[in-house]
Structure 1
Amino acid sequence: MPIRTLAVAVLALTAAAAEAGNVYKITAKKGDEEVVYNVKFGGGRRFEQFTAFDPVSKKFVYLTWNRGETAPKPAATIWDHRTGETIKLYTFPDVETPLPAIPAVDAIKVCPMTGDKGFKVEKTIVYD
């Protein structure tokens, strides 16, 4: 019985580790117009990645580093007066000011492109 339990645990861990990164299709409304774009979260076997939204360029941006290396250090931190949380800000490539990393697609509550709170999220690609 313990061997079977071990095999199931190994299989579960392998399945969880196999899904390292995802691409999500976001569909939002801006008035009568439908806005569709893709955003990536997570890394792969060889890399790790932070995702952020740059309000200046109106694009999602990515900070990537090799898996096993030290994660980038924050460029700054700010204190959120609404929650009391300290938020780490990172320097993303080709972005002028440091930005907070978005931990997962579920953390986005308002579409940054349109302001739509009822946007739809669909996982379209899993990468490793």
Structure 2
Amino acid sequence: MNEDAIAAAKDVMHRHVRALNARDAAAIAETLHFPHFRLAGETVKIWETPDSYLNDFHARAGDSWGHTEWGHLRSLQSEAGKVHLDVMVNRFDKSGQPLVSFRSLWVITRIDGVWAAQMRSSFAQDARQ
């Protein structure tokens, strides 16, 4: 395991959830490589731009979404330029009550010296996830 890569990948994830919860579009975009890919069930979604990603996230999370927390971030594999993370995603409504929890595999890569999420595969139970 490459500890420096793991630390960089976890930093990306912490910055991503902070930016997501702050609804900071520019900061979210800094944590993702584009195009960005997501496999949920048998469907692959490709976001070509930050705007396309943000519009889709809000549609998936729903109007009652308040914030997201990572239940865990566990490194599964790593090398100098790529890390696979086992992630537990916990979403809460605006009053702090749980909405949904699901596991996801995130792939964090270093491209041109920048660490960001390149893709993920989700076990979300609902199409809105």
Pair in the same fold by TM > 0.5: no
Q: TM-score range by the shorter chain?
A: under 0.3
Greater helix proportion: 2
Instruction: State the TM-score, normalized to the length of structure 2.
Output: 0.26
Larger relative contact order (Cα-Cα within 8 Å, sequence gap ≥ 6): 1
- Structure number with greater Rg is 1
Instruction: State the TM-score, normalized to the length of structure 1.
Output: 0.26
